Structure 1
Amino acid sequence: MPTDTAPSATGTTLAIGATGTTGKRVVTRLAAGGHRVKAASRGGTALDGAEAVRFDWYDPATFGEALDGTDRVYLVAPVGSLDPADIMLPFLERARTAGVRRAVLLSSSAIEAGGPAMGQIHEALPGLFDEWAVLRPSWFMQNFTGDQPHALSIRADGTILTATGAGRVGFVDADDIAAVAVHALTDTRAPNSDLVITGPRALSYGDVADVLSGVMGRTVTHRQLTYEQMRDRLAAVMPAEYAAMLAGMDRSIAEGTEDRTTDTVERVTGRPAGTFRAFAERELA
């Protein structure tokens, strides 16, 4: 049965997906806090303050070095996998045998325990580890930056294309997700729960466009697509099944499934979640 005891303060965290949106932030925060951390990525990329280790979900030969001396793990699923349980569960069994006692899983606010994809890992986690947490963030504010599709269309013609209608989302900053993750990995008492993580206000994509217009000083609009239009647009750049899943998430947003906010960031970290406007102003700077 799970216990309330915490992993040793001198333990080591394996951060999988260490070069990703949340993984890099988690590694940086852990290292800055004086925690030993292995930054795991397919390329074994070095990050300041962390031990670089090569890790590939599809190559079990990389598991041994990654798990050696590790007592907690930050889990990010293999990119693009619709059924990660087949890949992740054997690793998690091996991690438990190797001495990992605490696991923190990055999932999604859209996926409940026992649901598809990460929902299967969520359901299995409490039976595998004494100490665990499932992070279920809403949509990332970072989806509007870098080479993300929304950022590309905003730069190209000032539009955001979705099938979400007037549905609202509690967009959350990846910095806040990482802050919650670090607490879940290092707090004396394990959360042993799932944590839905949102920003402070639910926004429609039209609201987002208005904020971006004000911050950027140029007009940004939300162009509403049908589910079929969104699915076909995504299918041009990714597998059809994955495109259908993502378009289906847009349709769910239109139906109101993500119209919520939580106090998780403030409750766990002691400070309020960042607003979308503050995020946009920071990114523009």
Structure 2
Amino acid sequence: MTSDRERVLVTGATGTTGRLLLRGLALHADVVPASRTADRSVPSGVRFVWGEPQTYVQALAGVSAVYLVPPTGVPDPAGLITEFVRLATDRGVRRVVLHGAQSISSSDPGLGAVQRALPSLAPEWAVLRPSWFMQNLVGDHHLARTLREESVLRTATAKGRVAFVDVEDLAAVGVAALVGGRLDREVVVTGPEALGYDEVAAVLSSETGRKVRHVSVDEDSLAASLAPAFGPAFGRLLAGMDTRIGAGEWNDPTDEVLRVAGRPPATLRDFVRRHASELGASR
């Protein structure tokens, strides 16, 4: 017996967003999880490696929609991604949803060039541009490490604000973008409120019982502290983004989670309560 459900390819399927997308999409489509290790780590997964075209063909078999997570560690991924999208549409893919970032606009080089080209490459398309993830406070993110080890959030954002988004809300928007009505636009996905890191520390303190502090440093100091883990160039890039946050560049919440996914986005307090044990709650 054959399924009449759409077949959707999710690249980056073993990542934070990918795992949540798989769970949400399973109710609506036949999902093909794809990543460098998905053939070994995810049921029905296929191996997909950027820059290895032989892995593209199997991943695209019978697929009508694709969620694209750009390759990591590639300064200019435009060539790789546009080549793949052309192959995908030649093989019958109708809809392409690109995972971008609020910090990258279509006027930027690199991934921005893909965002500019996508409307002419895919019959139906969307670019999801999420704000900073609430999940950066847990796991292996550098903020999570200093929070866990020192009860400190160390940034160069000064009094700048960020409309942090829960990845679960991003995944809900991704599901709607892949199997719901066509969007054909960029979607800036944020949480419901813009918070400075002083306020983030206050929420963490009140909800976990820990005394969490925001330590504000300058861009050079932050870049130097990040360099051992990320290398000088990427450490400088991350620190520079903090400076841009401090200048108010990305401080406006949107209503896209409600508009596209049909549900209100989680607040940071909601997220902290849900992840209290991971955040070291003392009560």
TM-score range, shorter chain: over 0.9
Instruction: Give 2:87's match in structure 1, choosing from 94, 117, 121.
Output: 94
Query: Matched residues in 1 for 2:147 and 2:196: separation?
Result: 16
Query: Matched residues in 2 for 1:9 and 1:82: separation?
Result: 39
Report what 2:281 is aligned to.
none
Which amino acid in the other structure matches residue 117 of structure 1?
Answer: G
Report what 1:35 is aligned to.
29
Question: Contact 1:19/1:45 (CA < 8 Å) preserved in 2?
Answer: no
Instruction: Give the TM-score, by structure 1 length.
Output: 0.92
Q: Pick which of 237-246 and 275-284 moved more.
A: 237-246
SS at match of 1:73: strand
Instruction: Give the TM-score, by structure 2 length.
Output: 0.93
Report what 2:74 is aligned to.
81
Deviation (angstroms), 1:44: 2.0
Count how many residue pairs are aligned between Structure 1 and Structure 2.
275
Query: Matched residues in 2 for 1:196 and 1:46: separation?
Result: 33
Which amino acid in the other structure matches residue 10 of structure 1?
Answer: R
Report what 1:138 is aligned to.
131
The alignment status of 1:255 with 2:247, answered yes or no, reads yes
Report what 1:182 is aligned to.
175
SS at match of 1:88: helix
Instruction: Give 2:267's match in structure 1, choosing from 275, 279, 282.
Output: 275
Query: Matched residues in 1 for 2:5 and 2:168: separation?
Result: 24
Post-superposition CA distance 1:188-232 (Å, at most 9, x none): x31001111110100001111110111110111111111111122
- Structure 1 portions without partners, runs of 5+: 1-7
Which amino acid in the other structure matches residue 73 of structure 1?
Answer: V
Deviation (angstroms), 1:34: 3.7
Report what 1:15 is aligned to.
10
Query: Matched residues in 2 for 1:200 and 1:100: separation?
Result: 33
Instruction: Give 1:67's match in structure 2, choosing from 47, 60, 67.
Output: 60
Report what 1:214 is aligned to.
206
Instruction: Give 1:24's match in structure 2, choosing from 16, 19, 25.
Output: 19
RMSD (Å), alpha carbons: 1.6
Which amino acid in the other structure matches residue 21 of structure 2?
Answer: V
Identity rate of aligned residues, in percent? 43
SS at match of 2:9: strand
Post-superposition CA distance 1:240-261 (Å, at most 9, x none): 3222221111111000011111
